[in-house]
């Protein structure tokens, strides 16, 4: 897998051979916590789509996932996220199923219905 940092507010995930790599458009770009969040969502979505595709006899070798986000203020946080995918080899009659499968990603479900959060100092 390869994750490319496209901007401070977007990433792309592409299947490649070998280990996971993270690449930036420039040497001075750092991998931010927001990009990490988006990468997790992209990896999760890719995983569920790839698993479904494997069982359905469909190649996911050309599946590319983009995640972008925008910020909200007060408090400063991610206000909206958008995940899109391109899958040229996906048969046209499977696009609806693929959409539903993508929405099964557990991280997608977590972001839709966020968990209760607790922050405390460890004893």
What CATH number is associated with residue 58?
3.30.300.20
* Residue 55 lies inside a defined structural domain of this protein: yes
The sheet with strand 10-14 has its strands ordered as 21-24, 2-7, 10-14, 64-72, 77-86
* Residue 121 lies inside a defined structural domain of this protein: no
* Residue 50 lies inside a defined structural domain of this protein: yes
Q: What is the pLDDT of residues 78-106, one digit of tens each?
A: 999 999 999 999 999 999 999 999 999 99
- What does the pLDDT average to over 36-46? 98
* Residue 101 lies inside a defined structural domain of this protein: yes
* Residue 84 lies inside a defined structural domain of this protein: yes
* Residue 118 lies inside a defined structural domain of this protein: no
Residues in contact with 27: Cβ distance below 8 Å, sequence separation at least 6, in sequence order:
none
Write down the pLDDT at residue 110. 96
Consecutive H or E run containing 42: helix 33-56
Domain hosting 15: range is: 2-112
Strand partners, 66: 12, 84
pLDDT band, very low/low/confident/very high, at 27 (cuts 50, 70, 90): confident
Number of domains in the chain: 1
* Residue 122 lies inside a defined structural domain of this protein: no
Write down the pLDDT at residue 45. 98
pLDDT band, very low/low/confident/very high, at 23 (cuts 50, 70, 90): very high
Write down the pLDDT at residue 26. 85
């Amino acid at each position: 897998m390869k994750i490319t940092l496209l901007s401070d507010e977007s990433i792309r995930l592409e299947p490649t051979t070998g280990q996971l790599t993270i690449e930036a458009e420039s040497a001075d770009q750092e991998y931010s916590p927001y990009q990490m969040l988006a990468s997790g969502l992209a990896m999760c979505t890719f995983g569920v789509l790839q698993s479904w595709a494997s069982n359905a006899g469909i190649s996911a070798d050309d599946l590319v996932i983009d995640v972008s986000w925008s910020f909200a203020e007060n408090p400063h946080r991610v206000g909206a996220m958008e995940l899109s995918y391109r899958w040229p080899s996906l048969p046209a009659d499977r696009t609806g199923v693929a959409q539903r499968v993508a929405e099964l990603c557990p991280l997608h479900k977590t972001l839709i219905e966020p968990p209760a959060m607790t922050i405390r100092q460890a004893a």
